[in-house]
Chain A
Amino acid sequence: MTLYNLIIFIFYLIFSLNVFSEEILESQLYEKPYENNELKSGKYFSREETQNMELDEFENPGMIWVERGKELFNLKVGKNNTSCSFCHKQEVNSLVGAATTYPKVYKKQLINIEQKINMCRKHNMKLEAYELESNNLLSLSSFVSYISKGMPMNVAVEGKAEKYFKKGKKMFYQRIGQMNLACTQCHDERSGSYLRAEKISQGHINGFPSYLMRWGSIASVHRRFQFCNNQARAQPLEIGHDDYNALQLYIAWRGNSLPIETPSVRR
């Protein structure tokens, strides 16, 4: 090796170390991009007609799923003739406030509301689990989020959830797809500005499962992530994937203290 080659090699080492040191420093781990008084839910980034559609409970199309979820909650099925309301009554073990803490760690696994409903059905009620992103599961999950409407989001990221939180944060800052875009470039740095004719929102998920006008039905957070990945021309993961759960944990923490607004109307 000549001296010239050695110098080139040393420069290469230094630059490659720079690339690897994109690891998030411990001190910056809990640094929030928005202060509490700067947080704005997606409602303020949509036009007036859409906001009016969301305000009235009758005109909100997402309430169709909430009403169906309420019926399913009280429906008695199975050999034991049980229903969700058998255990979760209004006075004892009610689910009010439960949706503000999801996604959370349960038995060494990070899960969100839909997966927890399926677990409850399989182990506690001895019924078969719903298919992910099916109508019945979305109705139940939007009902469970609806009864906590108005309560501020409060996910926990210390302790057991810390490694999932780090993974989620890394995914949020990573560039993906043919367009080489990271979530943070649009939703942190350029929120409020226009992308073609749409105002970029801050990217909070306090209104999910929400009614999206482009699909004409209620969608869960993972389906929305899949769509975002498709738009950046990246390969989307499947619904219920662990990486999406970690990303959902980070984004929910990012919007902590925003009130839950299920079912919201978004484009």
Chain B
Amino acid sequence: MANEERKNWRRRLRVPISALQGEIITIKTMAEHIMEPGVRRDPETGVIYPKKIIDLVICRFNGKQIYKSHWFSGVSANPFMSFKMKAITSGLVEVEWVDDYGQSTYKKAVIMVYDKNGKKIIPMKLDKASSNKEVM
């Protein structure tokens, strides 16, 4: 039953829907993966199950990497990990799980960030108006 060939290995991600500016939010992730360490044997034939683990977990916010984690064979099967992020602007949170065979899967979620007055903060930079009063 180990290392079965199927395509529906699930990934889960939970990000709060909204947050205040400056609040620290918790991002929870869980992956369905067998995390085979490469030392177990099949009880009937004696063949070692080959090593297959998730190697690298990257979290990006609006495209910029904010958190990275390397895993080795000591992480348990169906691994759960939760980490924190500071909410500055609204945007897209994306978590990517990379296998040690190079296969990668990802999951995305959107978070809205409001300031004290209840106005949504959008990830945009506005240029300052120029001081010289040249009119076209």
Contacts and interface: CB of A to CB of B under 8 A. Distances in A.
- A touches B in complex, CB < 8 A: yes
A58 interface: yes
Given A216-B77, A216-B78, A58 B10 contact: no
Contacts of A188: none
A64 B32 CA distance: 7
Contacts, number: 30
Interface residues of A, number: 9
Interface in B15-42: 28, 30, 32, 34-35
B8 A61 contact: no
B8 A59 contact: no
A217 B12 CA distance: 16
Interface string A56-70: 001101001001100
A244 to B, nearest CB: 19
B80 interface: yes
A216 B2 CA distance: 10
A29 to B, nearest CB: 39
Contacts of A61: 30, 32, 78, 80
A184 interface: no
Interface in B88-114: none
A74 to B, nearest CB: 14
A16 B97 CA distance: 66
A64 B29 CA distance: 12
Interface of A: 58-59, 61, 64, 67-68, 135, 216-217
Given A135-B4, A216-B76, A217-B78, 5 more contacts: A59-B80, A61-B30, A64-B12, A216-B77, A217-B1
